[in-house]
Structure 1
Amino acid sequence: MKPITYYIFLVLLVSLVSCKQTKVERTNKNNLEHPRLLLTASGVKEIKNNLGTIPLFDNTLSEIKKEVDTEIKKGIDVPIPKDLSGGYTHTTHKKNFITLQKAGVLYQILNDVNYAEYVKQMLLSYAKIYPTLPVHPKERSYARGKIFWQCLNDANWLVYVSQAYDCVYNYLSVEERKIIENDLLIPVANYISIENPQFFNRIHNHSTWGTVAVGMLALVLDNDELLQRALYGIPSDNLSEDMRDNDGGYIKKDRQDVGFLANLEEPFSPDGYYTEGPYYQRYAMYPFLVFAQALQNNKPDLKIFNHKNSVLLNGVTALINLSNKNGEFFTLNDAQKGMSIKSNAVVTAVDIAYKSGNKNPALLSIAQQQNKVTLDDAGLAVALDLTKNIQKPFVKKSVEYTDGNDGKQGAVGVLRLKDLELVFKYTSHGLSHGHYDKLSYSFFNNGDEVAQDYGMARYVNIEQKGGGNYLKENKTWSKQTIAHNTITQNQQSHFNGKYKIASEKHSDRYLFDVNNPNIKIASAKDNNAYNKTSLHRTLALIHEETLNSTFLLDIFKISSNKTHSYDLPLHYLGQLIQTNFDYQKHQNPKVFGTQNGYQHLYEEANYQTKNENISTTWLHKNKLYTYTTLANEKDSLFLTRIGANDPDYNLRSEPSFIHRKKGNNILFTGVLEPHGSYNTSTELATNAYSHIKEIKTIVNTQYYTAVEITFNNKVSKMFVIANNNNDSKIEHELDIQNKKITWTGTYTYIEIH
């Protein structure tokens, strides 16, 4: 036994022996074994038998014990609710339910009744005030809670508190249980469900939390009526069929369309992609997985982990793959940058997926990165197997995840080559958290975001910024098309920014091919974002062996029945170093537009082009990048920056490069190339200039697009794609510059000189 592990073991042993009181068991009126949710009675025994020999579990236990002991010393605080997110009462109640769950677990593992007494007194304090609590005074939510400003947080509270109650159930007297259940737990469950069907009867992460809250309590109490409500929802005869609420979820009369099982069925594709995007998938995976594990422990006949071809287990793998090299989730739809696989929700998801799946050893390596486990049966399984050194690396490869419950509503493609990662979005809208950004992308180099997706305009739980909730700029900027790296027509957002229309449409996968070790390619089409306009975008990561350099090729083809103005932004991160064009910088930046997100951009400089290659070089985290694009006569270029019409500085002040073309058949062609670095210690730049000498469009017809790239080493390559036939077995023949080119499949990349 290692010294530090032995020390932890001794500390725990002393704690066990020196407790003034031991675990107290009382009569169980239902003759049920507790705990019985995630931590089970048999699991408790196994944990105790292994304490001191499972370093990751022991360390986690030690840290949580310190955390909970600190909170217990502060005393019990159950304030009357009044604040939005980030305020004192909100933060206190959130801290309470997290601490309660942990204290309950510590009681079971350490046999220390101080933890059970803390849980009991806290729950009795809540039971004393809850019957008199009015609806929360803040009126921002479509479904106001009582403990919190929205029912969502009340549901969070009940999910965690149900686990705490399960752990101390046998410690409580029959009278204490009666008070806690009748004055607190069951009323909370009824309030977030029966009294708020607009919250509960939905397809949305909100209702997932709601149904799981009711379901977890149902399993603790062995209450079949509550369990049926959780699994299948409640009838809503007073609501119209298929009514869509203001927050973007569904409210339906048919119980088959709501409840936990419907939320498990509808938002997930068969691949495990969650339509709201990885940020909210991370948030929803906690209730999905904890309830699934609790159901598996208590209702094994449901075979919940087999549901929809093991979609929950697939979802955990998908979630990890939808993070960058550093483990941070890609910001698809509403998302806060920096959220990662180290979040507590993902720790829970990984542990449960490992235990209840096929014990994939690659998940053990993720648990190592997380450096903690859950203090329950699943966490024990992970910690035990890590002591056997059977873990394998979780290798993130290029992958495509379909969207829609049937996998037929577009997809998201992740291309990975060398140190580069590209995320290409051709999905459905993504419910209320979706953005108007068909065929958009973001680009990473060695884990650093270079061409960004802005994410959401929100400072979560920072009270000074709108009560920690979504800011108005989330709708006026973050969701708008111009805020993303994709096409805007006539300065209008996709679907005119109308949620009802956007939620009925999706983009279509055209090609996803990652079989070539030097080329990873994704191509998709959208015929819905604008009326009578077809969009077709092809993105390819290409490793050019003659240069030992890897770059992104972007071909965006647009066809319409009328002449329109098209803007293609590149939202890059970093400091502008150089351009090869003489832009005119304005003395006083002017607002770029009046609506659809344009009102939040400053136009800092502009340039009217000729038929020429345009290049822009910038420095980001000591790495140099150049974007080269082919411009035509009378195109316009704009150097812009976020921040206009933002009196409260809610938006980050970040730059973008916008290329504007006019016409009815338009082709945007660009190359984004990482090519150099800057050493701040030696003050030397290496490979400071792009390897791209010139890009040219050779062919652009309904059937084919061919682009020639000439490098500084005098090598010229041509990329050709068939625009209307994606059959990988079809042979193509094309005459280009008096040369006959033949190939099999949708595309080819060949040397031409």
Structure 2
Amino acid sequence: MKIRHNTIVKFAIVALVFTIFSCEKEAETVSDNKKSTSTSQQHPNLILTVQGVKDIRAQLGNIPIFDNTLKVVQEEIDAEIAAGIETPIPKDYSGGYTHVRHKRNMIVLQKAGVLYQILDDEKYAKYVKDMLMQYEEMYKTLPLHPKTRSYARGKLFWQCLNDSNWLVYVSQAYDCIYNYLSEEERNKLETNLFRPFADHISIDSPQFYQRVHNHSTWGNAAVGMIGLVMNDEELIDRALYGIKDLKLDTKEKDDDGGFLNKDGKAGFLANIEEPFSPDGYYNEGPYYQRYAMYPFLVFAEGLHNVKPELKIFEYKEGVLLKSINALLNLSDADGDFFPLNDGQKGMSYYNSALVTAVDISYHFGEQDPGLLSIATAQDRVLLDDSGLAVALGIKNRKAKPFDKKSINLSDGPNGTQGGVGILRNEDIELVFKYAAQGSSHGHYDKLSYSLFEKGEEILQDYGLARFVNIEQKGGGNYLKENKTWAKQTIAHNTLTQNETSHFNAKYEIGSQNHSVLHYFSSENENVQVASAKEVNAYPGTEMLRTMAIIKDEDFEKPYMLDIMKVVSNKANQYDFPYYFLGQVVTTNFEYKTPETLKTLGSKNGYQHLYVEGTAKTTADNTKFSWLNKGKFYSLTTVSNTNDEILFTRIGANDPAFNLRREAALMVRRKNTKNTLFVSTIEAHGSYSPVSESAVNSNSSIKELKVVVNTEDYTAIAITNVNGITKLFITANKDASKEATHTLKINDVNYTWKGGFTFQKIN
């Protein structure tokens, strides 16, 4: 019996070897017979590679963060398999059941495909195949999505954008089970599902595909990634360079009011060239950069693996990898992205797209150990070659803190269209926006800013007016208040003239203009400054804003100094708001509160502001303090005797309660030509509801005074409660680092080099 048993085992081994050999030969034959294929192509080859799978399998059980991620994903997908496959007929907007189900399916498919490669368990491949076959059967007869709001309707989803999301993920799943499928099955999927899907996104929807926008980036990546798996050069070419010889309706607009691309720039490479500055800043802002980084990077990874001759990670001087560092610097102390332009608050680098960004940046970049500390905080990695590299780096204790410093990020393809300056000192972060419009997701808020302490907002930017993927709120899409409020200038911490938004809130005007950097200085760790000029927002009016974070030994924490110099050819009304969060503590002025709330105006965002209090200034300085989350803050601003002070609150003309009911203090200056707004914001003290004790709850500034304001220079004296005075002088014209300045004030000559000086007055 023993001899017979061994013989059976030997025959079984021989049969297994023969089967494996036959499968390999079949795969080679399929590859040879496949239209437009290369006989050397292997699968997987997009985010996973054949060698990468071998390396991962060899390390399993020895790479904790990877092993833990794998366990979580396996449990998730096993539960999905047990629940069965569901591919409902599409009918809903974002947040509706069918939308959510198909969105869930694309993620599940991608993860199941990866599990098949790593665990070599056929149940995952079968699950992917079975679901894809259901989609193939449905898609053959699927009409356009029944919801008609989108400028480019999809079939599985209400907009082509979501269809593109689906194909980006599903391409990876198809790549992972490519060799599991028979030639007949592959032909069926490619003929009835993948090729028609790619054609609908691109050929059938040029208004979506043929432009420079985050939507199109998803479309390009979707067409390109399925093209890489199918080894279809036509699709790959269409993805990289767009659709050739195509004419678009020049009057057509997208969902967000932005005009479609008419200059022939389209395709994946154009979407790298145009939106990214040389510093890696993405013109739509960090919220949409986060969203676009996933297709940018996974398609780039696929191109790197399949078409290394393109050197995609070196394209435009390596801007894709550079952009990840820029994006991480556009987050606060908690990792939340600053809500520049359309941006939902709370979006952070814990988002799955940033897991992709961090892992790919580490693997294909210079293996920055600071990225490993963020990956550690994210507590998961990609289940691919780049995730393995990160897991090994963490395991080998290479991680170091990601050091966020003050940084100036230029905007525009050549870095000449303004930018964003971030000043950091201890726990204080100032975000100063002097950028270009930001495509259709841009807001009309030149020279605006927001201020943070330890990740908490001191003065806020509103962000977008949208409840993303909450179907009950406008189908999860942008609300009309995004245009009537969030995009309008009065919604931001900047100057509004004559109750009219910058560029009259006209995209076609705003998109042609940008602010200009005057100077940026972060070399002095105690005084860091950003200064920029805007001359186009209001024809005939020039605004020069200089903002500083000053660390002064006579103050508990660093404080902000803000100087807005306005020069106009006529008298105007200027409104200057401070959107604070928290409870009013004290003021140095008496104000009246109305019995009935009225709106501040009738249009341009003013219709959404209630007036809750009014006052006239009576002192040279207006002072206002508030308490938020256990910390005190104080505003001191230089006043004119005719200034009005308004307490306002967002929420008027908003019957659906789409807007947050948040407050502002506003300085209104009427019938004024040239003027200067000067203020400080101090963070100080604390309050404990447990001990019920308030510590250092008063402002440390006794007086804020303008001592010089000429065409060439502005000088501000800051005197604290102990009588110590410091002088901040900024050059309004030549602010280059090489320029030498001398200014006489009260018979004292002040000499310095560069854009500013900060000195103690004896």
Give the residue type in structure 2 aligned to 1:263: N
| 1:138 to partner: Cα distance | 0.8
- SS of the residue corresponding to residue 586 of structure 1 reads coil
- Name the residue aligned to 2:598: 590
Verify the 8 A CA contact 2:212 2:261 in the aligned structure 1. no
Give the residue type in structure 2 aligned to 1:396: K
Residue of 229, 232, 241 corresponding to 2:241:
232
1:136 correspondence with 2:151: no
Aligned equivalents of 1:242, 1:143: Cα separation in 2? 15
Aligned equivalents of 1:346, 1:244: Cα separation in 2? 30
- Name the residue aligned to 1:440: 448
Aligned equivalents of 1:280, 1:237: Cα separation in 2? 27
Instruction: Report matched runs for 1:117-516 at 5 Å.
Output: 117-239=126-248, 245=254, 247=256, 251-252=260-261, 257-516=265-524
1:568 correspondence with 2:537: no
Verify the 8 A CA contact 1:90 1:148 in the aligned structure 2. yes
Give the residue type in structure 2 aligned to 1:751: K
When normalised by structure 1's length, the TM-score is: 0.95
1:631 correspondence with 2:639: yes
Q: 1:659-679: CA deviations, max 9, x gaps?
A: 011311110010000011101
Query: Could you say if the C-alpha distance between residues 617 and 254 of structure 1 is closer, same or farther in structure 2, counting changes exceeding 3 Å?
Result: closer
| 1:319 to partner: Cα distance | 0.6
| 1:253 to partner: Cα distance | 6.4
1:735 correspondence with 2:760: no
Give the residue type in structure 1 aligned to 2:599: V
- Name the residue aligned to 2:36: none
Aligned equivalents of 2:755, 2:274: Cα separation in 1? 33
Aligned equivalents of 1:730, 1:377: Cα separation in 2? 51
Verify the 8 A CA contact 2:556 2:684 in the aligned structure 1. no
Aligned equivalents of 2:251, 2:479: Cα separation in 1? 28
Instruction: Report matched runs for 1:670-685 at 5 Å.
Output: 670-685=679-694
Verify the 8 A CA contact 1:458 1:468 in the aligned structure 2. yes
1:74 correspondence with 2:83: yes
Which range moved further: 740-749 or 460-469? 740-749
1:27 correspondence with 2:35: no
- Name the residue aligned to 1:110: 119
- Name the residue aligned to 2:677: 668
Q: 1:9-67: CA deviations, max 9, x gaps?
A: xxxxxxxxxxxx99987635224311110011111111110000000000000000111
| 1:735 to partner: Cα distance | 2.1
Aligned equivalents of 2:358, 2:259: Cα separation in 1? 29
| 1:425 to partner: Cα distance | 0.2
Which range moved further: 585-594 or 85-94? 585-594
Q: 1:519-539: CA deviations, max 9, x gaps?
A: 111000000100110000010
Aligned equivalents of 2:79, 2:398: Cα separation in 1? 36
- Name the residue aligned to 2:70: 61
Verify the 8 A CA contact 2:43 2:50 in the aligned structure 1. yes
- SS of the residue corresponding to residue 549 of structure 1 reads coil
Residue of 616, 621, 627 corresponding to 1:619:
627
- SS of the residue corresponding to residue 674 of structure 2 reads strand
Verify the 8 A CA contact 1:240 1:252 in the aligned structure 2. no
- SS of the residue corresponding to residue 95 of structure 2 reads coil
Aligned length: 732
- SS of the residue corresponding to residue 191 of structure 2 reads helix
Which range moved further: 557-566 or 698-707? 698-707
Which range moved further: 274-283 or 542-551? 542-551
Verify the 8 A CA contact 2:541 2:567 in the aligned structure 1. yes
- Name the residue aligned to 1:705: 714
Aligned equivalents of 2:232, 2:276: Cα separation in 1? 28
Aligned equivalents of 1:186, 1:244: Cα separation in 2? 27
Verify the 8 A CA contact 1:84 1:468 in the aligned structure 2. yes
Aligned equivalents of 2:447, 2:251: Cα separation in 1? 29
Give the residue type in structure 2 aligned to 1:116: A
| 1:69 to partner: Cα distance | 1.0
| 1:171 to partner: Cα distance | 1.0
- SS of the residue corresponding to residue 588 of structure 1 reads coil
| 1:178 to partner: Cα distance | 1.6
- SS of the residue corresponding to residue 432 of structure 1 reads helix
- SS of the residue corresponding to residue 288 of structure 1 reads helix
Which range moved further: 495-504 or 721-730? 721-730
Aligned equivalents of 1:166, 1:68: Cα separation in 2? 18
| 1:389 to partner: Cα distance | 0.6
Aligned equivalents of 2:752, 2:308: Cα separation in 1? 54
| 1:447 to partner: Cα distance | 1.2
- SS of the residue corresponding to residue 585 of structure 1 reads coil
Q: 1:414-472: CA deviations, max 9, x gaps?
A: 00001100000000000000000000000000111110000000111111111111111
| 1:548 to partner: Cα distance | 4.0
Verify the 8 A CA contact 1:285 1:349 in the aligned structure 2. yes
| 1:240 to partner: Cα distance | 5.5
Give the residue type in structure 2 aligned to 1:670: S
Verify the 8 A CA contact 2:584 2:625 in the aligned structure 1. yes
Aligned equivalents of 2:403, 2:124: Cα separation in 1? 41
- SS of the residue corresponding to residue 129 of structure 2 reads helix
Q: CA RMSD in A?
A: 1.6
When normalised by structure 2's length, the TM-score is: 0.94
| 1:175 to partner: Cα distance | 1.7
